[in-house]
Amino acid sequence: MQPITELDAETLRDHYRKFSRYEAVGTSPVYATWAAGVAEDDDVINLLLTLPKPKRQANLLFAAARHLGAGEGGYERLRAWLLEHWGATRELMLTRSTQTNEAGRCAVLLPALARIERPLSLIEVGASAGLCLYPDRYSYTYRRDHAGPTESETVTLHPRTGPSGVDLDCQLINAAAPDRLPEVAWRAGIDLNPLDVTDADQRKWLNSLIWREHDARRERLSAAAEIAAAEPPRLVAGDLLEAIEPLIAEAPAGTQVVVFHSAVLAYVSPDERERFAELMTSRHDVLWISNEGGGVLPGIGGQVTGTLDGRFVLGVNGEAIALTGPHGQSYEGL
Ligand SMILES: C[S@@+](CC[C@H](N)C(=O)[O-])C[C@H]1O[C@@H](n2cnc3c(N)ncnc32)[C@H](O)[C@@H]1O
């Protein structure tokens, strides 16, 4: 193990300061306060420095602390709790990772999926627990932004079986709402560490990964997990580059294979992202949908001019077609 330096400590403080100021502020006052506190706390910084670098991040620390019962008070309370429970917190941070699974992202995938006439074979890379593999089982409400939620500006879609326990709300800008749900003939996912929605502790971990104040997202997770648990997805444990081609080969004949990913490629190296993009572009039998941060796939993000405001870029077969809210809350056609 490399010796810990002053630079490591300052880099870590900076991560927590930026997390507080730019990521959590406005969306999670509890996390903003906690991260600001950690940044200036020598004792907690020194504890975090005993972890490998990828395990020191704020999202992981706060999810682990809440998972183990840290509660939601101010920073002094968190600090006291962490010092007392550091052994268990450290252990959890070493064994778990940030695998937030957001079913809401189906709302921004649907416009591309709904255009495909044939039954789909859906393959998600970086699927976590696979909750985005059920776009045909959720209800959707699309609203146009310019006129407010009037009757004529709202489109609602339900599965064939009727309204779903998961209703995804998405604001549409410069785009038409989809007019149908796709028929999914087959679905499967790949993840380095697939999570099992039928396992109570893994479901609790998914819950802990959702930021403190985001109650609507927690309700959505719970409802989507019920749907997935009733018919658990096939999830292959493995690296996306190695596992993708064998899985594509398994898709039933007569279906349109769709490979998609959201909030995944930032976790792999730029070289591997490039190799994955080349592979997808070379597969003319596959429709490739990417939904990632603007800098993650420069070939797609680079097609967008103007500011992203924290939104993802949705690409279809390498062409940027929309800017999307990171939890699927908005879709702006390009
Ligand atoms: C932030 S989660 C997103 C989950 C899901 N795509 C969603 O939108 O809700 C990222 C997932 O990618 C997985 N992942 C990261 N690198 C991977 C790789 N090289 N191969 C397969 N999965 C990977 C992680 O384990 C994690 O479950």
DSSP-derived secondary structure for 147-193: S-S-GGGEEEE--TTS--S-EEEEEEESSPPP-SPPPEEEEEEEESS
Distance 190 CA to ligand 1 centre (A): 8
Residues with beta carbon inside 6 Å of ligand 1? 99-102, 105, 125-128, 132, 190-193, 239-240, 262-264, 267-268
Of 2 and 59, more confident: 59
Tens digit of pLDDT for each residue in 82-140?
999 999 999 999 999 999 999 999 999 999 999 999 999 999 999 999 999 999 999 99
- Mean predicted confidence (pLDDT) in 236-256: 97
Given a cut of 60, is residue 236 above it in pLDDT? Answer: yes
Query: How much is the mean pLDDT over the chain?
Result: 94
| pTM exceeds cut of 0.85 | yes
In the reported structure, the alpha carbon of residue 6 is separated from the centroid of ligand 1 by a whole-number distance in angstroms of: 32
User: Residue 1: which pLDDT band, with cuts at 50, 70 and 90?
Assistant: low
| Alpha-carbon span 45 to 2, nearest angstrom | 17
Q: Whose CA is nearest to atom 14 of ligand 1?
A: 126
Are 98 and 70 spatial neighbours (Cβ–Cβ below 8 Å)? no
What are the beta bridge partners of residue 190? 125, 236
d(C-alpha 117, C-alpha 95), whole Å: 42
- What are the angstrom distances between the C-alpha of 212 and each of 17, 72, 101, 107? 18, 8, 15, 23
Protein residue with least CA distance to atom 19, ligand 1: 239
Q: Measure the CA–CA gap between 89 and 67, rounded to whole angstroms.
A: 9
**Measured distance CA(328)–CA(109) in Å, rounded:** 9
